[in-house]
Amino acid sequence: MTPSLSPLSRRRWLAAAAASGLVWSLAGCSSRQMAPESRFVLLDGSTLTTSELRGKVTLVNFWATTCVSCVKEMPALVDTYNRFHERGFETIAVAMSYDPPDWVANFAATRQLPFKVALDNTGEIARDWGDVRLTPTTYLVDKRGRIVKRYLGEPNFAALHQLLDKLLAEG
């Protein structure tokens, strides 16, 4: 819970929380929130919806090419995808609406991102997923389409990998 702060202090607190990799966990809650129904427009022009991802464990990562933390965590996201993809794991990197599409396409191509990259040109996807404004913000969604965890900042990848092992083993 964010303490009662002035708007400027609150923004600073949130920025510090993001920089420190603060994790907001929904795991262990009696009822997990369903992921919003979203339509992702991928770099190749194809589309994918949240409902099409049911049956897979999915990481939805909101990022920007100008976000230093996002760029820093990208190799670990690639490693995580490569490690778990064959077991039914999917990753969608959602570029924020202010990120120029040609920058996103260049970033994805030069770094040979193996997972799906979507453009959120209108900001609708970020709004649907809790009005995401800070990057990186990442959601982990289980096979049933429920949000298991929300990471504000870079995840602890060792802990994420343990959770992925558990979620991918679930029926």
Q: How far apart are the first and last CA of the chain?
A: 33
Q: What mean pLDDT comes out for the span 70-82? A: 98
How many residues appear in the chain? 171
CATH number of the domain at 23-169, please? 3.40.30.10
- Structure-token match 């303490």, residue found: 3
Write b or e for each residue in 1-17: b if 16 or more Cβ atoms lie within 10 A of its Cβ, otherwise e: eeeeeeeeeeeeebeeb
* φ, ψ for residue 34, nearest 5 deg: -70, 145
Give the model confidence (pLDDT) of 12-25 as tens digits: 544 444 443 444 43
Give the model confidence (pLDDT) of 90-123 as tens digits: 999 999 999 999 999 999 999 999 999 999 999 9
